[in-house]
Amino acid sequence: MTFTITVEPSGRTFTAEDSEPILVAGIRQGIGLPYGCKDGACGSCKCKLVSGTVTHGHHQPKALSAEEEASGYMLTCCGVAHSDVVLESRQVTEVGAFPIKKMPVRVASMERASHDVIVLRLQLPASDAFQYRAGQYVEFLLRDGDRRSYSMANAPHTQATAPSIELHLRHMPGGKFTDHVFGPMKEKDILRIEGPYGSFFLREDSDKPMVFLASGTGFAPIKAVIEHMQHKGITRPATLYWGGRRPADLYQSAWIEARLAEMPNLRYVPVVSHAEAEDAWTGRTGFVHLAVLEDFPDLSGYEVYACGAPIVVESAQRDYVARAGLLEENFFADSFTSAIDKLD
Ligand SMILES: Cc1cc2nc3c(=O)[nH]c(=O)nc-3n(C[C@H](O)[C@H](O)[C@H](O)COP(=O)(O)OP(=O)(O)OC[C@H]3O[C@@H](n4cnc5c(N)ncnc54)[C@H](O)[C@@H]3O)c2cc1C
Ligand code: FES
């Protein structure tokens, strides 16, 4: 059976089969609902169920707790409609999404940026331009059918000179894909990707000042956003907080310093949580999401863009809304969930 899904307050509608998650149906029909992992682990797709009947497939309680479900919240990535449904999502985008394509890619270069980060450049097919928004991600299609997500670190306009994407991969020891990347993978290897995906991108119709919050390789999509802002001449004030355990984890500080010299609207606050004496670190210390709260006790007039470790993204969303008055609809995030976040 097919049901009608209405998204309030925009009033946009699409149809969903009774066998498909509402998010999948929305993506298929170019409706830009918010999402991240597409797998019930991150909570990015959580929204209010205004009316109708929805059942949920497997998901993590931290993405949607039983209490939240009882009080009328749902996850679109694993929620299936059993009637016409009205849901409330203030982050739905008005413009249709770019086409999602499967592509073979060639490993053009692999550069060690720190002890556990590789900057990977992938050459794309020249015949078919790849369109995406700064901040979005692609999925690698692994041989066994699994998928792994990585965010583009270069802005879309760079495709005009060289059809390639830059990704920042952190090694997760024991991880299926990153063990391969940090092990046998070499330049010229061919991989398969699909994309673009994701609802994490700059809302260009807003003029609110912004806080960018990155932890670890969460810097990658924010780098793309900054590059895009510079290209488009967007001068909204933006403060980037980048957190790592040690200073070396902030592996592209030199790139940021160069942007600071060119973009008077950009500020940068590096934050280190576990500095050692040998680091001779004189900058901010502690948890990066808390550094933002110290500097911005009132976030009610801001947009926050957060990416990286799930614990940082979750803590930021919770604390900025509860303690600093950030409007929920002004928090945009990609939580870098992995297999470990999907374990019960
Ligand atoms: C939207 C999105 C964007 C992302 N962007 C980026 C990015 O730009 N850069 C980046 O570095 N990452 C990013 N990620 C994370 C990335 O997709 C992968 O999840 C991550 O790289 C780990 O992949 P893997 O295959 O190496 O590890 P996985 O196989 O997923 O394993 C992850 C960890 O869990 C452990 N583990 C796995 N199974 C078990 C088990 N049964 N019991 C105990 N431990 C277990 C592994 O040992 C490993 O340490 C993103 C994620 C999302 C959802
Ligand atoms: S929980 Fe639905 S997109 Fe992550």
Mean pLDDT by 10 residues, the chain (344 residues): 93 92 90 88 93 94 93 96 94 70 95 98 89 95 95 95 95 98 98 93 95 98 98 97 97 97 98 96 97 98 97 96 96 95 81
63 lines ligand 2 (CB under 6 A): yes
Nearest ligand for residue 76 CA: 2
Ligand that lies nearest to the alpha carbon of residue 342, given by its number in the listed order: 1
Name the residue of 340, 341, 344 whose CB sits within 8 Å of the most ligand 1 atoms, as the mutation to test its pocket: 340
198: left (phi over 0), alpha (psi -120 to 50) or beta: left
Atom of ligand 2 nearest to the CA of 38: 3
How many CB atoms sit inside 10 A of residue 247's CB?
A: 17
Terminal C-alpha separation, the chain: 32
CA 338 to centroid of ligand 1, rounded, Å: 3
Q: Report pLDDT for 96.
A: 59
The per-residue pLDDT for 53 is 95
Nearest-atom index, ligand 2, CA of 34: 3
Q: What pLDDT sits at residue 184?
A: 98
The protein residue whose alpha carbon is closest to atom 53 in ligand 1 is 37
The set of residues, in sequence order, having a beta carbon less than 8 Å from that of 272 and lying 6+ positions away, is 243, 244, 245, 246, 247, 249, 250, 279, 281, 283, 284, 285
Strands 79-81 and 54-56: antiparallel
Determine if ligand 2 sits within 6 Å of the CB of residue 42. Answer: yes
**Per-residue pLDDT, 28:** 85
Cβ neighbours for 224, distance < 8 A, ≥ 6 positions apart: 134, 135, 151, 152, 153, 154, 155, 156
CATH class name, domain 99-197:
mainly beta
Is any atom of ligand 1 closer than 6 Å to the C-beta of 177? Answer: yes
Break the chain into its structural domains and give their ranges. Answer: 2-95, 99-197, 210-335
Q: Which ligand is nearest to the CA of 309?
A: 1
Q: Are 173 and 241 in contact (CB under 8 A)?
A: no
**CB 169 less than 6 A from any atom of ligand 1:** yes
Helices 219-232 and 253-262 meet at what angle, rounded to 10?
20
2-95 topology per CATH: Ubiquitin-like (UB roll) (3.10.20)
Q: Class of the 210-335 domain?
A: alpha beta
* Spatial distance between the Cα atoms of 222 and 149, rounded to a whole number of angstroms: 16
